[in-house]
């Protein structure tokens, strides 16, 4: 497996769709008709996977995967989401017998973990009993999970631009490899061989052939991940902030242009800082160590990890200051009327959730 493939597999583990599908498998049951309800149904408490939930999840999957990544036309979202929702409901019906037990197991394990008298602070990873039970319960439904993913691809692919259809097929091959890795993890976990800090979509050292550079596979992967994570993480968050500010304050064309100018200036300043060899080398080295940490058998409350975090904070402080300046300057763009309208929208949205939130009136 190439280093490029490993990086893509690592990203697959963090994408929305695979984890949403596995959460679905882990503890939801579909709504039954009255004729299907057992006599004791009134005494049964469980989480129901309703058509409304299915449609909501389907729209999120469609927008995150196909619109944002593959340039699907927005007017196609409803059509594809309806098909995906149908598949999600069929999946839930197929596995409704295991769903309640799965949810009860996860809930019980998490409560036991948080109430354990000997639990240490800091990141402790996945408890062995939780990983073992999760693996045993996931293995039987993996064929259905693969079928569901393939079906979602079949629903969406014909509606994508030709070039994006080719791109999707390549990503689906990588996702298939990621699912192979996940299933191999579940086989080991089900036997009690649980790595507390494992990303179950990412190959372990034992899953990989020796690296061509002579370095360990773990180090090769850590370097690739570090290069990707150091590249433009701050700039991405700044762009998202400006985008959300435009929407929240309903900025007009001139105001939006001002926000874009502030963003461009911040990115330019960041790029100048990142050209310094000492800065990049420091950040890159810490990122590599962070990705290697779980292989070292040390906890995240170890003094060495605290030192790495402190050094990272020192290197990032200049970028954080630029980001804070960007936020302040963008927040000064809207008029008082636009700001008041934005606060009213926030209040209305929060009121709909049942929460009473006091907004900062001094801003």
Backbone angles phi, psi at 118, to 5 degrees: -100, 15
- Give the pLDDT band of residue 40 (cuts 50, 70, 90): very low
Residue 361 lies in a domain: no
* 193/275 same-domain check: no
Residue 8 lies in a domain: yes
What sections of 62-199 are H helices per DSSP?
77-94, 96-115, 128-138, 142-156, 162-190
What is the per-residue pLDDT across 254-286, written as a single tens digit (0 to 9) for each?
999 999 999 999 999 988 887 877 777 777 787
Whole-angstrom CA distances from 184 to 48, 101, 147, 204, 234 are: 30, 23, 18, 10, 34
Residue 211 lies in a domain: no
Pick the more confident residue, 205 or 264: 264
* 312/342 same-domain check: yes
Pick the more confident residue, 124 or 307: 307
Domain extent, residue 265, equals 217-353
* 19/157 same-domain check: yes
* 240/346 same-domain check: yes
* 54/104 same-domain check: yes
* 246/221 same-domain check: yes
3-state SS class at 117: coil
| Total domains, the chain | 2
Residue 212 lies in a domain: no
pLDDT score at 19: 47
* 101/164 same-domain check: yes
pLDDT score at 4: 37
What is the per-residue pLDDT across 141-178, written as a single tens digit (0 to 9) for each?
889 888 888 888 888 888 888 888 888 888 888 778 77
pTM: 0.51
* 87/221 same-domain check: no
Residue 90 lies in a domain: yes
Residue 40 lies in a domain: no
* 104/184 same-domain check: yes
150, 180, 206 - which closes a domain: 206
180, 206, 232 - which closes a domain: 206
Residue 363 lies in a domain: no
Residue 290 has pLDDT above 90, yes or no: no
pLDDT score at 29: 47
Which of 147, 152, 16, 175 shows the shortest CA–CA distance to 84? 152
* 201/71 same-domain check: yes
CA atoms within 13 A on the CB side of 135: 24
* 232/193 same-domain check: no
Dist CA 252 CA 264 (whole Å): 18
Residue 38 lies in a domain: no
* 148/13 same-domain check: yes
- Sign of the C-alpha dihedral computed for residues 110, 116, 121 and 127 taken in this order: negative
pLDDT score at 99: 73
154, 172, 206 - which closes a domain: 206
% of the chain beyond a pLDDT of 90: 15
What is the per-residue pLDDT across 208-240, written as a single tens digit (0 to 9) for each?
455 556 677 777 777 776 776 666 667 878 988
């Amino acid at each position: 497996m190439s280093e490029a493939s490993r990086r893509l597999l690592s990203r697959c583990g963090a994408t929305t769709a695979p984890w949403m599908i596995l959460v679905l498998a882990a503890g939801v049951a579909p709504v039954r008709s009255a004729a299907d309800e057992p006599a004791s149904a009134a005494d049964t408490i469980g989480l129901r996977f309703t058509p409304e939930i299915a449609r909501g999840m389907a729209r999120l999957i469609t927008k995150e995967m196909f619109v944002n990544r593959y340039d699907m036309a927005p007017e196609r979202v409803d059509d594809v989401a309806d098909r995906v929702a149908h598949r999600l409901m069929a999946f839930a019906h197929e596995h409704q017998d295991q769903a309640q037990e799965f949810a009860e197991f996860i809930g019980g394990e998490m409560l036991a973990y948080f109430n354990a008298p000997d639990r240490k602070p800091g990141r402790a990873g996945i408890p062995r009993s939780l990983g073992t039970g999760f693996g045993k319960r996931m293995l039987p439904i993996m064929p259905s999970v693969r079928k569901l993913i393939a079906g979602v691809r079949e629903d969406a692919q014909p509606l994508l631009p030709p070039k994006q259809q080719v791109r999707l097929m390549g990503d689906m091959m990588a996702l298939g490899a990621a699912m192979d890795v996940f299933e191999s993890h579940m086989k080991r976990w089900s036997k009690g061989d649980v790595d507390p800090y494992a990303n179950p979509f990412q190959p372990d050292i034992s899953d990989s052939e020796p690296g061509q550079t002579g370095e360990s596979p773990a180090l090769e992967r850590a370097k690739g991940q570090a290069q990707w994570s150091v590249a433009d993480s701050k700039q991405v968050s700044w762009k998202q902030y400006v985008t959300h500010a435009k929407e929240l304050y309903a900025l007009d064309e001139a105001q939006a242009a001002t926000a874009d100018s502030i963003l461009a200036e911040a990115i330019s300043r960041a790029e100048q800082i990142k050209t310094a060899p000492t800065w990049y080398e420091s950040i890159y080295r810490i990122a590599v160590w962070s990705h290697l940490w779980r292989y070292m058998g040390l906890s995240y409350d170890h003094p060495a990890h605290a030192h790495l975090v402190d050094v990272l904070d020192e290197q990032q402080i200049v970028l954080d200051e630029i980001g804070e300046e960007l936020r302040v300057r963008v927040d000064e763009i809207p008029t008082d009327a636009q700001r008041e309208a934005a606060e009213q929208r926030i209040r209305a949205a929060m009121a709909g959730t049942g929460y009473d939130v006091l907004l900062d009136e001094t801003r």
